Amino acid sequence: MKDRLQELQSEALEKVKQSEDLKALQDVRVAYLGKKGPITEVLRGMGKLSKEERPVIGQLANDVRESIANAIQTKQDKLEEKAMEKQLEEESIDVTLPGRPVHVGGPHLLTSIIEEIEDLFIGMGFEIKEGPEVETDYYNFEALNLPKGHPARDMQDSFYITEELLLRTHTSPVQARTMKQKDGHEAVRMICPGKVYRRDTDDATHSHQFTQVEGLVVDENIKMSDLKGVLNAFAKQMFGSERDIRLRPSFFPFTEPSVEMDISCKMCGGEGCSVCKGTGWIEILGAGMVHPNVLEMAGYDPEIYSGFAFGMGPERIAMLKYGVDDIRHFYTNDIRFLKQYHKA
C-alpha cells in the first residue's frame, strides 16, 4: 500500500509538471484528488490493515495528498501569472500612436439658414409662431380665400389624408390661425418657419417636401411701403447691402395686391447670366397686402385693420446665398456636402 501511494504520488507530480494549461491541471486534480480517485480507493482498503500499520499509512496518504495539492496550487499560480503576462502583452497600448480624431457635428445648413432668418426678423420685432403640418382644408385653403373648387388650388398640388385633412402645402395657414387667436383686435407681427408638402416632381429646384417661412403683420394703417421696407431690410441683411430688390405684380388669392420679390443676381451684378437666366434678377418670395376677405374671416375689421404677408423658401435662399446648385443636397445628407457649411 505504501508503494502504491508513493507510485501515485510520483505519477501525479509528473502529470502536474506536464500540464500546460489550467484545464489540464484541473483534470489532474479531479483524477488524483477527487472522490473517485486512486488515493481515496487506497484509503478505503485501510480496513484490512493491522492496527499498527493504519496510522502510518493514513499519515502517508495525507502527506501524498498534500504534496499533490501543493504542486497543483504552485503550478496553477504559475500558469495564471503566465496567462496574465500574455494578456498584458497583447493588450499593451502604444502611447506613441496618433489619437483617433473625434468628429464634431454641426447644424444642418437648412437649420442654420432658418435660424439666421429668425434672428433677422426677431431683430425687427417679430415673434416666432408654429402651426400643424397636418392641416385642415379650412385653414390651408378656405380661410385664405380659396374656397373648395377654386382654380387657384391647382397652384399647390396637395397630399390629402381625408377630404378635410391634408399635409399643409404652405405655411400661410399659420396666418389665419394666428389672427384667429388674436381675436380680431390685437396687432400681429410674426414669422412662422416650418415644413410643407406638395405633389411636385423633385428636380434641382423643387422638392415634394421643403420648408417655408411665413411672415405676417396686421395693425391699423399698414401700407405696401411697410412691406417693401421690411423685405428690403431682410434682403440686404441676408444677401449684402449691395443687392437690390424689386417687386413684380403677381397673384395669390389671399393677398391683394400680390407681388413676387426678386433680388439682383449676385453672379452678374444685374447684367444677366445663366444663373438668373439673362434677366439680372432672381425670385425669392411671394408677398402682398392681406386680402380683406382673409382679415374678415379671422375676425378683423378690414375698414380698421390692414396687413401684409410674405412667404419664402429657405432652401432657395440658402441656394442663392451659398451657391448650392441642387435642392436635393439638403435632403440626401451627404456628409461631405454638409460639412462645408459647419461653422468653426
287 vs 218: CA distance, rounded Å: 14
Among 126, 139, 239, 252, binds ligand FA5 (CB under 6 A): 252
260 and 248 in contact (C-beta within 8 Å)?
yes
Binding to ligand FA5, residues 213-242 (CB under 6 A): 214
Beta bridge partners of 264: 281
Residue 91 among known ligand-binding residues = no
Query: Shortest gap between Cβ of 117 and ligand FA5 (angstroms)?
Result: 12
Query: Is the Cα torsion angle 295, 298, 303, 309 positive or negative in sign?
Result: negative
Q: Does 140 contact ligand FA5 by CB under 6 A?
A: no
CA 183 to chain centre: 38
Between 193 and 311, whose beta carbon lies closer to ligand FA5?
311
Binding to ligand FA5, residues 283-342 (CB under 6 A): 285-288, 309-313, 315-316, 327
Binding track over 15-54 against ligand FA5, x by CB under 6 A = ----------------------------------------
238 and 230 in contact (C-beta within 8 Å)?
no
Q: Name the 3-class secondary structure at 88.
A: helix
> Among the candidate windows 57-65, 69-77, 238-246, 281-289, which touches ligand FA5 by CB under 6 A?
281-289
Query: Is the Cα torsion angle 196, 201, 207, 208 positive or negative in sign?
Result: positive
Q: Enter the C-alpha cell of residue 215.
A: 411672415
Q: Name the 3-class secondary structure at 193.
A: strand
Q: State the chain's maximal CA–CA distance in angstroms.
A: 130
Among 126, 197, 210, 330, binds ligand FA5 (CB under 6 A): 210
Q: How many residues bind ligand FA5 (CB under 6 A)?
A: 23
Between 85 and 326, whose beta carbon lies closer to ligand FA5?
326
Binding site as annotated, residues:
256
Contact footprint for ligand FA5 (CB under 6 A): 170, 172, 198, 200, 206-207, 210, 212, 214, 252, 255, 285-288, 309-313, 315-316, 327
